Amino acid sequence: MTIESDPKANIDNASNDTKNRKAEPDLKKSPTQKLLSMLKTMLLYGTVFIVIYTVINWWRQPVMPADPQLQLTDYQGQTVDLARLSADKPTLVYFWGTWCPICRTTSPSVNTLAEAGNYPVVTIAVQSGSNQELQSYLNEHSYTFTTINDEEGIIFDDWEGQVTPSYVILKDGEMTQGLTGIQPLWSLKLRLWLSSVW
């Protein structure tokens, strides 16, 4: 036995479906709703990124030794007293290496900060060769910042450094901030300013 469909019934059903669809509210988002949705998504991802970055930075940052050696000698034989420098203003200590690819991005910003002269900047070149090799590298890149040659990496190890570049901000001989990775110039200025305020 074959059941035939009624063509008129099919037309009526199609007509009812069209009416029902018209009765339903339009579920498409307006441009404002789309923009708000996109902003919420960006805010969520931005927050997740900041939390992850902060945790990784906290884990990798240098740690001030219990009895730090704050009187050092630069590669030219000049004495650098970090305690005295940081007594006047917050002082940036920048751990880097001539072999470090990321340092090629960060060192120019650190040099700009040092040349501005608003805050003392002392850099520590980790395992970057002899004094002559280091001087040649500094001249080649026109870096004028004060540099300690940590030829064997002893100073960096003493600060429990894990990655280069790493940064420490000292105030009154004490570490106020530690950070790692790419830091733009504005970020370094802001952190130094915050250390001078608090």
- Summarised one tens digit per residue, pLDDT across range 91-136 is 999 999 999 999 999 999 999 999 999 999 999 999 999 999 999 9
> In this model, does residue 20 exceed pLDDT 90?
no
Nearest-angstrom CA–CA distance, 93 and 115: 15
- Its domain, for residue 119, covers 71-197
> In this model, does residue 139 exceed pLDDT 70?
yes
In whole numbers, what is the pLDDT of the chain averaged over residues? 86
Report if residue 65 sits inside a domain: no
pLDDT at 34: 87
> In this model, does residue 57 exceed pLDDT 70?
no
Give me the CATH number covering residue 86.
Answer: 3.40.30.10
| Between 31 and 51, the higher pLDDT residue | 31
Half-sphere CA count of 149, side-chain side, radius 13 A: 17
pLDDT band at 59 (very low <50, low <70, confident <90, very high): low
Element containing residue 79 per DSSP (H, E): strand 79-81
Nearest-angstrom CA–CA distance, 123 and 76: 13
Report if residue 111 sits inside a domain: yes
Evaluate the CA torsion angle 61, 67, 71, 76 in order and state its sign. Answer: negative
List the one residue out of 151, 187, 181, 184 whose CA is nearest residue 164: 181
Structure tokens at 40: 């919420």
The set of residues, in sequence order, having a beta carbon less than 8 Å from that of 161 and lying 6+ positions away, is: 62, 95, 126
Q: How many domains does the chain fold into?
A: 1
98 CA to centre of own chain: 20
Report if residue 37 sits inside a domain: no
Element containing residue 65 per DSSP (H, E): none
> In this model, does residue 22 exceed pLDDT 60?
no
Q: Does residue 66 sit in helix, strand or coil?
A: coil
Report if residue 34 sits inside a domain: no
Report if residue 35 sits inside a domain: no
Report if residue 171 sits inside a domain: yes
Q: What percent of the chain has pLDDT over 90?
A: 62
Nearest-angstrom CA–CA distance, 125 and 115: 18
Structure tokens at 73: 């000698």
Report if residue 45 sits inside a domain: no
pLDDT at 65: 81
Q: pTM of the prediction?
A: 0.72
pLDDT at 62: 81
Report if residue 55 sits inside a domain: no
